Amino acid sequence: MIPRYTRDKMGAIWTQTASYDRWLSIEKAACEAWCVEGLIPKTDLEKLSKATYDIAILDDVLKETKHPMTAFLKSMTDHLGEEGRWIHHGLTTSDVWDTATAMQLRDSAELLLMEVDRLIEVLYLKALKYKNTLMMGRTHGVHAEPITFGQKLAIWWDEMRRHRTRLVNAKDMISVGKLSGPVGTHATVPPSIENSVCKLLGLEVAPFSNQVIQRDRHAQFVTTLAQIAGSLEKFSTEIRGLQRTEIREVEEPFGVGQTGSSSMPHKRNPELTERICGLARLIRGYSVTSMENVALWHERDISHSSNERLILPDSCIALDYVLDLMTHVINNMTVHTDRMRSNLEGSHGVVFSQRLLLSLVEAGSKREVAYKIVQRISQRALDENLELYDLALQEPEVVNAIGSDLLQEIFNYNHYIRHINETFINAGIK
C-alpha cells in the first residue's frame, strides 16, 4: 500500500522486517520446544536464544537462491556455531511463513477492532443527538415518509456492531499456527512441537493441515474486511447524496483553507467520502482473489503466495485507513437541520398519504376506493404546489369518513418521532 493510505501502527505490522521478526520468533520457539523434547541441549539453546538474522546477508543470499526462507536461515546460521544446525529442524517454509502470517493477521485484526469500536461509539453518540431530528426518508431517491437523522445513524451503528462480531470470528478463525512439516504429516516434527510453539505465540493449532494452513480461513478474513468496507461505502454514498446542492442536508468536514476545485472557488466536494468509496472497491476486489486462493493443487501449490503479498497487507492497511476516515467524517460532519426541515415541508404534506389512506380504511372505506382518492389529491398537491391537507379538507368522502379533527391529527410529525423513539429504547439507545 502506498504511504498516502498507510497509518503507522498498521503499516508497521506489514513491513518486511516485521515479517522476518516473526519468522525469528517462530524459529526460536521451535528450538525451545525441541529442547523440552530433549533433542537440543540446553547449552545450545542458550546460544540459539540470542540468535538473530542479518538483513545484509539475507538480501545478498536471496539474489542467488531466489528463496526467502533459505536466505533467511543462512543469515541466521552465519553468526552461529555448531548449534546453528538446530535452526528450522523438521520444519518446512510454510510452517514458518503461514504461522507468521497468522500472527500478522491477528495483530491487524486487533487494530481494526479498535477502529471499529471508535466508529461504533461515534455513531451511537450522533444517533442519540439526532434521534428527534426530522428529515425526509427517500426510496428510489424519491420522497417517501418522514424519518429522523438519528434513525439513519442508528441503522449504521447496528450494522457496525454486526461487523464487529464478524471481525472477532474472522480473527479467531485466522489465529492458528501450523508446524506439521512437509505435506502436514508430522513425520519430521511431532504435534507436541506444534502445540508448544503455537502456545508460546498465542495461537491455536490448526487441527489438520497439509503443507499450508487452509485458505478458507484467509478467505473468511478478507471477505469480512470487504463486508466492513462495503458498509463504509454505503455510509459514504449516503453522505455524498445528502451533500448534493439540491438536498444539502449533510456535509462532510471541510477544513479552513481547503479547496474543492482548481477552477471553481465555491466548490466543497465530498472528496473524503468519495475516497472511502474508492478504497472500499479495492478491498472488495481483494475478497474475490482470497476466495480463488482456496483451491490449491493437491497438498499445496504457491499460486496464492504472490497475490497474498499484496491482498493481505493492503486489505488490512486500506480498511484501517478508511475506518479512521469514516470516524472523522461522522464525528465532524455538518448537519443542516434547517435544510432537513425545509425539504420535508417542501413535500406539501404528501408524506402523510399512507396515514390518510389507513385512516380512511379504518373508518370503513374500501381500500381500493380510498387509495384512488388519496393518490389523486396527492398527485395534485405535487403538480400544483398545493398542500395535501387543504385538498383533503375539500374531499367530502374524506371529511365525512374521519372528520376534520382526526384529519388534523393525521398531518402530525410527532407520530413518527414517537415510534422512532420506541425503536431507540428497544435497541438500548437512550
CA distance linking residue 285 with residue 206, whole number of Å? 27
Got the DSSP string for 245-305? TTT-SEE----TT--S-SS-TT----HHHHHHHHHHHHHHHHHHHHHHTT--STT--SHHH
419 is catalytic: no
Provide the sign of the torsion angle of the four alpha carbons 134, 136, 139, 144, taken in this order: positive
H/E run at residue 142 = strand 142-148
List 67, 79, 192, 261, catalytic entry: 261
* In the block, residue with C-alpha cell 469480512: 224
86 contact partners, CB below 8 Å, separation of at least 6? 31, 34, 39, 40, 44, 48
Q: For 296-361, give the DSSP string.
A: -STT--SHHHHHHHHHHHHHHHHHHHHHHHHHHHHHH-EE-HHHHHHHHHTTTTGGGHHHHHHHHH
The torsion angles phi and psi of 138, rounded to 5 degrees, stand at -125, 135
Q: How far is CA 114 from the centre of its chain?
A: 12
Cα separation, 276 vs 287, in Å, equals 17
Check 140, 263, 266, 306 and give the catalytic one.
140
d(CA 296, CA 128): 49
Cell of 13: 505490522
Say whether 19 is catalytic: no
C-alpha angle with apex 316: 312 to 320, nearest 5 degrees? 170
Whether 339 and 246 have beta carbons less than 8 Å apart is answered as: no
Q: Return the closest-CA partner of residue 301 out of 211, 386, 367, 383.
A: 211
Backbone angles phi, psi at 308, to 5 degrees: -70, -25
Q: Any idea what DSSP says for residue 423?
A: H
The set of catalytic residues is 140, 261
